[in-house]
């Protein structure tokens, strides 16, 4: 596995994936997103793997979102999918139980990646943000309402406010908050509990719950509208402003 994505079987039946781009707070570039896709593909083909835990290496960030430097330089004429959404869409489509152990910053595409997981556990220092409206894009609008309810989803997405861990727990964005030093152990414990059950029953339970609550048409619409918004004059201006804030350029 690429050094930018650490992979190990941490418990019986449990695959642990740790994003490892420390200098960029694990921002999703094409290499990291592709490594995540490959890791899920391999896990689904391995009958010994029953659940996946994903986290960020270190103790500062889960995932800061799309790599903005790469996105600024992406050749839009090639029609390539944005890097973050390679991973987000793959996670959204996986029948595998996915637990996000959110151990720090979880912004933009990183927050959308966490929302593509089935269960989110957070450290007491974690924070979330859905800044699409600031960037001139739509981020999380398809997934977030079923997690926190429509009114809260609108509040978080339309204001692009920062959501601290305890607020995230109160509204159901995360299942539980733990001290930083306990988070990964708790996530692995939960994954091991899941892995001990019938793999078929777990996957079918997930499929039925998702079919009862998940609107895939909305997810595809979010991707489609972003393909229109991305590169427009307004979005380009907002993206350049946001990029300068992040990169200092």
The predicted pLDDT at position 209 comes to 96
Residue 223 located in a structural domain: no
Using 70 as the pLDDT threshold, list the residues of the chain that sit under it: 1-2, 74-80, 223, 226-249
Per the prediction, the chain carries an average pLDDT of 90
Q: Which two tokens stand for residue 67?
A: 């790599």
- What is the distance between the alpha carbons of residues 219 and 84, in angstroms, rounded to a whole number? 14
Q: Which two tokens stand for residue 223?
A: 């991707």
Q: Which of 168, 184, 178 is nearest to 57 (CA)?
A: 184
Residue 67 located in a structural domain: yes
Q: pTM (2 decimals)?
A: 0.89
Q: Which two tokens stand for residue 156?
A: 């978080």
The predicted pLDDT at position 113 comes to 97
Contact 128, 106 (CB under 8 A): yes
Domain that holds residue 42: 5-183+190-195
Contact 73, 79 (CB under 8 A): no
Residue 209 located in a structural domain: no
The predicted pLDDT at position 248 comes to 52
Q: Which residue has the tokens 């996957």?
A: 203
Residue 244 located in a structural domain: no
- What is the distance between the alpha carbons of residues 37 and 113, in angstroms, rounded to a whole number? 12
Residue 87 located in a structural domain: yes
Q: Which of 45, 58, 63 is nearest to 100 (CA)?
A: 63
Residue 75 located in a structural domain: yes
Q: Over the range 10-37, which residues count as b (16 or more CB within 10 Å of their CB) and which as e?
A: bbebbbbbbbbbeebbbbbbbebbbbbb
Q: How many domains does the chain have?
A: 1
Q: Over the range 98-111, which residues count as b (16 or more CB within 10 Å of their CB) and which as e?
A: bbbbbbbbbbbbbb
Residue 236 located in a structural domain: no
Q: Domain with 119 in it: what CATH number?
A: 3.90.226.10
- Which spans in the chain are helix H? 30-45, 68-73, 83-93, 109-115, 132-135, 144-148, 150-159, 165-170, 180-195, 199-213, 216-229, 233-247
The CA-atom distances, in angstroms, between 232 and each of 26, 66, 186 are 27, 18, 44
- What is the distance between the alpha carbons of residues 107 and 162, in angstroms, rounded to a whole number? 9
Residue 229 located in a structural domain: no
- What is the distance between the alpha carbons of residues 15 and 200, in angstroms, rounded to a whole number? 17
The predicted pLDDT at position 1 comes to 46
């Amino acid at each position: 596995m690429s050094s930018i994505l650490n992979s190990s079987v941490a418990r019986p039946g449990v695959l642990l994936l740790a994003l490892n781009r420390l200098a960029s707070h694990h921002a999703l570039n094409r290499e990291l997103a592709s490594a995540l896709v490959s890791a899920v593909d391999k896990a689904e083909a391995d009958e010994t793997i029953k659940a996946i835990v994903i986290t960020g290496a270190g103790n500062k960030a889960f995932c800061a979102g799309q790599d903005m430097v790469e996105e600024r330089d992406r050749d839009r004429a090639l029609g390539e999918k944005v890097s973050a959404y390679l991973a987000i869409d793959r996670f959204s489509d996986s029948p595998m139980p996915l637990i996000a152990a959110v151990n720090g910053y979880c912004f933009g595409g990183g927050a959308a990646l966490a929302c593509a997981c089935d269960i989110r556990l957070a450290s007491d220092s974690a924070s979330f943000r859905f800044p699409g409206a600031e960037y001139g894009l739509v981020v999380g609008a398809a997934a977030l309402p079923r997690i926190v309810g429509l009114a809260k989803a609108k509040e978080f997405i339309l204001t692009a406010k920062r959501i601290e861990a305890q607020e995230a727990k109160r509204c159901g964005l995360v299942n539980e908050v733990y001290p930083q030093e306990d988070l990964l152990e708790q996530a692995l414990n939960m994954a091991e509990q899941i892995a001990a059950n019938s793999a078929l029953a777990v996957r079918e339970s997930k499929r039925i719950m998702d079919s009862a609550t998940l609107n895939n048409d909305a997810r595809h619409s979010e991707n489609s509208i972003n393909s229109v918004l991305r590169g427009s004059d307004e979005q380009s201006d907002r993206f350049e402003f946001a990029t300068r804030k992040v990169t200092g350029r």
